[in-house]
Structure 1
């Protein structure tokens, strides 16, 4: 790589964990940072120079230490910035970068910072890494399909058939409405109509973000693992809609379909004011003389239709059943010697039995003991023990919704310290989940409320408290974001996670994650409503640390979980775990 850089006149080169669409999860052929450094996390910047370095955030720091040996590891939040490192350590004068893999606004910011230090940023249309990556995997262009005609009632009926209690089964049937609504709630034509109402007559909307394109057109694919999206671009004006994808079998009224690679040719021929939905890479930005950014489409996407909210509810009945079955199976199997990887594979097998299940929404995380302290740990062959904390973070993609749940378990006798740590995390989550707040409140307040009990012990966690979740789309969707720096206001019907944690490096990790949605009370105040139907692990709770209000709130959640799942779990593995971990607790 250094020889290639010298040939192209640069003494430093930046490589990002990204693709042309700025996806968090990327295809194998876009894993350039992994190719250079060995690091497989979703957020990495590799600096190739005389003193190579890898920047990543706190979620991946332990993982990066284990995976990357040739590149010096740097924490994004705590150490000098990339510009300072390139100047003072690498002594670079000209740094190369491929503009297709960096956000347009971030590129301009980086360029200005480097210029202030006497460093020139040299852009390349194609990444230099691709020249030396001889066996780079080809990009996948898989089948694209519409979900507009998928009916929600079908999946409700198939759930009901799993209930062994005939009287309860009949009661559930009677509760269903006769309305055979689509799982998406709104036709793509209606979404296009609303988008066009936002545009001014001389504006054209360009969309490069794959999840937004999938949402608008009610289409899904499988080009990127765990994410039901497909490689595409879209251009929407007042009187036309163009979709660029390599799927040849799509036929949509009033939408012109073109090959994926035709996007640049069409984009460069656009006239008038160009509006970018959300964000685009620096290469796309430079196709136009000037652009405007618009966040309104992403906001529309984040505010789920009522039937989509119902889809999340249904998804969590299935996921609740799967996880209580898994947890009881783990308890029964620990003494036989089972690995993290075996637990992960067992969960995948359980979920495949369910109607509408497509795939995991990310690779399930199973971390026993010290591996639980690695926030995005990859399940390994390490055998888990009855005498340690076990962290399981998993999610599902159903045709009608997406899930993301973390539970922390212990099937032996947890130490007083482990129980105190777990209870502090639990208290933070319960505090946020029972919130009512003014519509003008910054989401950063929720982030702080989830950390108070840890802060009182001078402890913290490095990741955000929450992220938005798509509807049968990406498990990480923005907006919303619940973090220190969040300033975009929350809106009704947004679905997001609340997931505080505590990580003691080398010993254990604790994270508790629920999905919730925001309900509008009166236009001025909102309340958070729980979606997750998975029990908390009562053995890890120190009730002496909890207030009466917290105990009552936890008991209400447990009652909802028990009453919803019990009819489906009677006589099955998982029933004992469900009943033992949803009993009312006392202070």
Structure 2
């Protein structure tokens, strides 16, 4: 792997360019006859990972996080981020040009109410905002005596001189043996959830990929084919896919299931449904305002719902569950090889964060089955570890010395998606490091050992992970866990373990378990495994119960564990987990790595 890969969009998104680029945008806005513009970090599908040509927020501001919004007015501008990015936004954005704001404490709607002037016209791109987002913005803008204006063309595209062309990755069929279900059965289930709608517009490419058992290569790290699908209550579905993505064999296979047309046909087809008075069901979380308007402007009715495919996709089939187990065991061997290598090389000095990223990906590529990393690896030493979503570049690359090192990474294999975080110490750990690490570990164990009745949501479990930090007046500003797809997105909804995780957990869902603690400017801690929701038989139970099967297998650094803070049950869990890691991984690695693993997974009493 070349270090040139780290000179990616992160470094072309230069904070020093914020002023000139905002000036270019303001000139373009004047030509459009508007006084401001909203720049979300979004594409036409509200994807987490977007094509390079859709990285408008990064180009304009320098901010490369996965979520954020900028607003540029004639005489003021701001960028809004959540708690994951409060440190990163200060490092990446020129605060004299775009004032950083909390997405929670001072959201765009609140900021607009005090910065818009009466009579102002605020522009937005209707392909990049959902109807709910537009409704909130319109309320705030109207309340300020201004007008929200949908623009036909995004003004950033006109001034972004070196904007990349769209990428047309080839679409591949995903074998039924890996999916566990064929397309016909999935379509029948989806139609059963459509109620009185004439059609369902599938705007989330993950849902489209799952429904039609296809995968693609249009965005980084997630095997997505970008496109839309229209599923009528009766008759053949239509797939809106660029023909350049389809080989003859793939086209032939898909045409046995659906009509395939170019995406430029979509708005016209929706307008035709609307003109006939049709009811079209839309996924409220991902559909662009542009497509809803195509139906309603023609006289039809748009029914905004939670995507009915999301829960079907989230509950993995038996084949997907087994594929995930296989992928995690393969991945465990690569991660253990990396940890053994790091433990040997880091104390010598000379390693950098980029060296660690490259080494871990190399061990994964040695499996011969790696398709891609499932997200840009987070490898942070010292203060960089305190940035939850830090991404190393050649400009930020830090030498690894004595102290805390955090690496959060994952892989895409055809049979499963992985995500694991380990925090290790080079040299000796301080008393404070051990205390904080152990509190995070206790929370991790509390989630892993949870048993709960059917109907319980992730929000009800979230505090289990935080309670030991709370006891010391501490917390972390991200969710405890996110859903994970089956050779799809490493961050999958609707399931999550978080304060906002209102969806009930069901058997077959995969989630992460990743509490953390971050001492800004010094070091950070996160411990992450993936979990599979499983049924639990409990003698005398009066209702169906659920629990978690741990899928991830790699040692937890015993040098950071303060054994005296653990209960007997927690010590037993840690020893049993390490015994399982040793049993699963030892046969998969070389003798020297096996010897290292024996020591790394020794009983806590011997540590």
Structure 1 residue 386, shift from structure 2 partner: 4.2
Residue in structure 2 matched with residue 584 of structure 1 by the alignment: 603
| Consecutive unaligned residues in structure 1, runs of 5 or more | 150-181
Matched, 1:245 2:241: yes
CA distance in 1 between counterparts of 2:132 and 2:312 reads: 22
Matched, 1:505 2:520: yes
Contact 2:453–2:545 (CA under 8 A) maintained in structure 1? yes
Structure 1 residue 332, shift from structure 2 partner: 1.9
1:550 corresponds, among 570, 573, 584, to 570
Compared CA separation, residues 445 and 127, structure 1 to 2 (3 A): same
Matched, 1:85 2:83: no
CA distance in 2 between counterparts of 1:301 and 1:277 reads: 14
Compared CA separation, residues 123 and 202, structure 1 to 2 (3 A): closer
1:395 corresponds, among 392, 407, 410, to 410
Matched, 1:274 2:274: no
1:541 corresponds, among 552, 556, 561, to 561
CA distance in 1 between counterparts of 2:109 and 2:203 reads: 28
Once the two structures are superposed, the pairs formed by residues 378-393 of structure 1 within 5 Å of their partners are: 378-381=391-394, 382-393=397-408
Once the two structures are superposed, the pairs formed by residues 417-428 of structure 1 within 5 Å of their partners are: 417-428=432-443
Contact 1:519–1:526 (CA under 8 A) maintained in structure 2? yes
Matched, 1:230 2:241: no
Where has structure 1 moved over 6 Å in runs of 4 or more?
none
Structure 1 residue 201, shift from structure 2 partner: 6.3
CA distance in 2 between counterparts of 1:248 and 1:530 reads: 38
Residue in structure 2 matched with residue 315 of structure 1 by the alignment: 327
2:294 corresponds, among 287, 290, 294, to 287
Residue in structure 2 matched with residue 51 of structure 1 by the alignment: 76
Deviates more, 1:385-394 or 1:286-295: 286-295
CA distance in 1 between counterparts of 2:37 and 2:498 reads: 31
CA distance in 2 between counterparts of 1:577 and 1:274 reads: 59
CA distance in 2 between counterparts of 1:202 and 1:569 reads: 54
Residue in structure 1 matched with residue 389 of structure 2 by the alignment: 376
Residue in structure 2 matched with residue 66 of structure 1 by the alignment: 91
Matched, 1:346 2:359: yes
Once the two structures are superposed, the pairs formed by residues 14-163 of structure 1 within 5 Å of their partners are: 14-49=38-73, 50-69=75-94, 70-78=97-105, 80-89=106-115, 91=117, 93-148=120-175
Structure 1 residue 89, shift from structure 2 partner: 3.8
Deviates more, 1:189-198 or 1:454-463: 189-198
1:208 corresponds, among 203, 206, 209, to 203
Deviates more, 1:491-500 or 1:275-284: 275-284
2:584 corresponds, among 523, 547, 564, to 564
SS in 2 for 1:529: strand
Contact 1:209–1:278 (CA under 8 A) maintained in structure 2? no
The two structures, once aligned, show a CA RMSD in angstroms of 1.7
Residue in structure 2 matched with residue 443 of structure 1 by the alignment: 458
CA distance in 2 between counterparts of 1:406 and 1:545 reads: 22
CA distance in 2 between counterparts of 1:423 and 1:8 reads: 56
The number of equivalent residue pairs is: 553
* Per-residue CA distance 1:507-545 (angstroms, 9 max, x = gap): 001011111011123662111111111111111100100
Contact 1:103–1:281 (CA under 8 A) maintained in structure 2? yes
Q: TM-score, normalised by structure 1?
A: 0.91
CA distance in 2 between counterparts of 1:461 and 1:82 reads: 23
Deviates more, 1:100-109 or 1:426-435: 100-109
Q: TM-score, normalised by structure 2?
A: 0.88
Residue in structure 1 matched with residue 547 of structure 2 by the alignment: 527
Structure 1 residue 384, shift from structure 2 partner: 3.6
Contact 2:109–2:136 (CA under 8 A) maintained in structure 1? no
CA distance in 2 between counterparts of 1:305 and 1:132 reads: 47
Matched, 1:575 2:594: yes
